[in-house]
Structure 1
Amino acid sequence: MKDMHSDLSVASAIDAATLAADNTPAAIDLRGFDAAEIVLAIGAGGITFTSSNKIEFKLTHSEEDASYEPVTEVDVLGVEEIGSGGVIKALVAAHAQAGVYRFGYVGGKRYLKLLAAFSGTHGTGTPIAGVVIRGHGQINPQTAQA
């Protein structure tokens, strides 16, 4: 078995919680890494999502951690279309079972932010977690995070 552990680091983009409103996105610094993978873990929907009662996951990036712009199709792998504002995943229909989704970031900017943007009425929250796996570290092994 090959060692992948020494070559990567994980950062929380959306802390694991049951959310019913927008999170406050943390800036994820990719300095010292040559690859990034965004992983969303979404539990069963707290409501039945519709086009007006929805959650959109918006990915933005920045070179200097000051002004962020939405990613586009050329910045992200694993998604056919990026929605307005950098939407990489949208919950707009029933989401009865938990799921895990991954997206590769190839945009080349230093900082990422991931926002779970809620629209409409969410009387019951939805379990959500988002992490950024930073890979191909330039100085290895990476610090253990256990």
Structure 2
Amino acid sequence: MRDWTHNFGAVNAIAPAVLTDDPAAITVDRSGYDAVTFVLMLGVGGITFTNTNRIDFILEHSDDGTSWEAVDPSNVLGAIPDASGIVLSQRSAHPAATLHRIGYVDGTIGDRRYVRLRPDFNGTHGTGTPMSALAVLGAGRTLPNAA
């Protein structure tokens, strides 16, 4: 039987925190899954974001978990990454909490085992912005054991 509880995996992609600077990136291992949806929860902006004082969210993939490159648009659902992998950029006031879903799937360029979504702080952030992201692993390659 394939139920919802056993049909996906979930791991932290950005640990919950109030941040003023780049946190350590968390690698997500897709082994056994063909897709990942990043659920990014972004709290009220600690500052008024501008083109200079902003947070870019970069989606990258890797074959070995060491050498990273920007994702190709064919691998992304719910956003259109630029050439450097930016899938979301906070550049204006952010007065309310928001939730963003960004998908990574096997595409024409890819099928990379490792992926990560990392915040990149630019400019000065004197007051932190709360955020977290969960990587929901889906399209499992094997069925769960029957109970």
**Superposition map of 1:7-86 within 5 A:** 7-79=7-79, 81-86=80-85
Deviations 1:76-122 (A, max 9, x none): 0111x313421011100010000000011014210012211000110
Unmatched segments (≥5 aa) in structure 2? none
The alignment of Structure 1 onto Structure 2 pairs a total of residues equal to 140
Counterpart of 2:101?
Answer: 102
Q: Which moved more, 1:116-125 or 1:63-72?
A: 63-72
Deviations 1:56-85 (A, max 9, x none): 001110111121100121110111x31342
Residue 139 of structure 2 aligns with an amino acid whose one-letter code is H
Unmatched segments (≥5 aa) in structure 1? none
Residue 78 of structure 2 aligns with an amino acid whose one-letter code is G
**Identity of aligned pairs, percent?**
39
Cα root mean square deviation, aligned: 1.5
**Superposition map of 1:90-129 within 5 A:** 90-107=89-106, 108-129=111-132
Q: Which runs of 4+ in 1 moved over 2 A?
A: 136-142
Q: CA deviation at 1:137?
A: 2.2
Aligned residue for 2:82, secondary structure, equals coil
- Equivalents in 2 of 1:50, 1:132: separation in Å? 28
Q: CA deviation at 1:140?
A: 4.0
